[in-house]
Amino acid sequence: MPTLRTQILLILEECAAVLLNPYMLMRFSTHYSQNSFYTTSYRMEKEGLIERFEKEGKRHLKLTSRGKAIIERHRARADKQRPDWDHKWRLVIFDVPEDKAELRKYLRSYLVALGFGKAQRSVWISPYDFRKEIRNYLRKLKLSDYVYQLLVDNFEGLTEEEIATTFWDLDRIHNKYIKFHQDWSERFIRLEEKMKEDADPDPTILKQYMKHLDWDYQSVLSRDPYLPLELLPPDWGGKAAGKLVAEYRKLLNIS
């Protein structure tokens, strides 16, 4: 799943030049605070991923070539298969004191970005092993003393499928995939009709279609915890959505 940094890059690519307004930039990332956006964007500027400029007296952000390369690597990873699952669960349990409440918010946002589900208020769960990444993140935040990571074989009273539907809102994500598939199926029907009428379609327009398709697809992927396939319903909307994206990349000859 995209981190806050990646989501900012994706939004900037879509908008080309975006007014430096956290409410516009965070339209797809409501679990992030305004402060975390400003902190992340400042770090990204220091890393050479984005740059600021002024236009008509307003501040804007835009991608650098290095930032565009990050997006391409992110999309390449998104196309890979899910990792094999060992049928074990990883729990993150924390008790962060109130004087570190802001850091606690950062930790929760990070777990959401990794695809963790919320089991209880300060208990989060994932089928995948992110222990190394989480340890590194905790060291940066200086929260290691308040967080425990556990490896669990099973949950008494809940099947694996019930764990998935209890701790993740799979119905909501499924419906977003279905809507994406319906909307873009209709758009591509119109595009195919136009391509039949025009023997030599403008490649710029075709690339623009794919850019918007990728953006809409990524906006759903950013909410998908990417659970193992055996935990998902047979009619999981992500399958049809991914197939549609692959088919039209091939049709338009855009990798």
Is residue 119 in a domain? Answer: yes
Q: Check if the beta carbon of residue 8 is closer than 8 Å to that of residue 40.
A: yes
CATH number of the domain to which 140 belongs:
3.30.70.240
200 and 158 part of one domain? no
154 and 187 part of one domain? no
The percent of residues in the chain predicted with pLDDT above 90, rounded, is 36
pLDDT at 243: 92
Is residue 157 in a domain? Answer: yes
Is residue 84 in a domain? Answer: no
Domain interval for residue 42: 4-78
Beta strands in the chain (DSSP E): 18-19, 50-55, 58-63, 89-94, 117-120, 123-126, 147-152
Residue 240 pLDDT exceeds 90 = yes
135 and 184 part of one domain? no
> How far is 232 from 187, CA to CA, in rounded Å?
28
Question: Which among 19, 53, 78 is the end of a domain?
Answer: 78
238 and 206 part of one domain? yes
pLDDT at 177: 96
The β-bridge partners of 54 are 59
48 and 99 part of one domain? no
Question: Which among 135, 164, 193 is the end of a domain?
Answer: 164
**pLDDT higher at 126 or 157:** 126
The percent of residues in the chain predicted with pLDDT above 70, rounded, is 80
**Mean per-residue pLDDT of the chain:** 81
Domain count for the chain:
3
Please give the average per-residue pLDDT across 118-145, as a whole number.
93
42 and 112 part of one domain? no
70 and 106 part of one domain? no
pLDDT at 23: 45
246 and 211 part of one domain? yes
Is residue 103 in a domain? Answer: yes
186 and 215 part of one domain? yes
CATH number of the domain to which 51 belongs:
1.10.10.10
Question: Which among 106, 141, 164 is the end of a domain?
Answer: 164
Q: Check if the beta carbon of residue 150 is closer than 8 Å to that of residue 123.
A: no
Q: Residue 20: which of 71, 72, 55, 68 has the closest Cα?
A: 55
Q: Is 124 helix (H, G, I), strand (E, B) or coil?
A: strand
pLDDT at 29: 47
What confidence category does residue 52 fall into, taking pLDDT thresholds of 50, 70 and 90?
confident
**pLDDT higher at 56 or 180:** 180
Token pair belonging to 183? 């909307």
66 and 95 part of one domain? no
Is residue 20 in a domain? Answer: yes
Is residue 83 in a domain? Answer: no
Is residue 178 in a domain? Answer: yes
237 and 198 part of one domain? yes
193 and 136 part of one domain? no
Please give the average per-residue pLDDT across 68-78, as a whole number.
66
